Amino acid sequence: MKIKSVEYAGTIASPGRTSFEMLPQIAFSGRSNVGKSSLINRLLRRTRKKIAHVSSTPGKTQALNFYRVNKDIFFVDLPGYGYARVPEATRTTWAKLIEWYLGEYSQVLGVVHLVDARHPPTKHDHSMVEYLAEIGIPTLIVLTKIDKLKRSERDASITRAIDALKVNHAQLLPFSSKTGEGRDTLLKALAELMRMEEEN
């Protein structure tokens, strides 16, 4: 997939709104502070003039943010979850929004779920991956911040994530928003997902 054009298309803050044009969509999920916005900016080559807001305070993405890519697909940034300083009521609201979007939005082709490579998958990661499997949405696990690990630590992190989340090796991709490692591979995987959808 070559990125030719990118534009912020809008935000959905509560379940039920479907006013955007019905384009295929790929969602990006993960715990707060896992690096979703940084990954999206790197993926879309927006590292200087950022399109996805990167905050030093986790939990700032509080709605579904839609980015129209090449005028034919949306990348959707889901609210981060699991951040302790966010009130329980807010986490519940985010969970309901995410479940509505993933469960009822027929245009979702797949989910890129981000896990911090430096730490074991959390209970929230387990819950999300299990939920995606239950509702049958193709899922790719991306280990973020991989540049912060030594080679031996990288291999251990990959094995740990595969075993913990019960996914196969082909479903997991190391990624660095800082160096760009994994960008081309991820774009190829997303392009393949789009191609498969077009054939169905």
Tens-place pLDDT, residues 13-28? 888 766 667 889 999 9
The rounded distance, in Å, linking the Cα atoms of 128 and 81 is 10
> Tens digit of pLDDT for each residue in 93-132?
778 888 888 987 668 999 999 999 999 999 989 999 999 9
Q: Quickly count helices (H) and strands (E) in the chain.
A: 5, 7
Fold of 6-199: Rossmann fold (3.40.50)
Residue 117 confidence (pLDDT): 97
Q: Which residues of 82-112 are buried (b: 16+ CB within 10 A; e: fewer)?
A: bbeebeeeebebbeebbebbbeeeebbbbbb
Grade residue 86 by pLDDT with cuts at 50, 70 and 90: low
> Which residue type, as a one-letter code, is found at position 92?
T
For residue 67, what are the contacts with CB-CB under 8 A and spacing of at least 6?
6, 7, 8, 9, 40, 44, 51, 52, 74, 75, 76, 77
Domain residue extents for the chain:
6-199
Residue 31, pLDDT score: 87
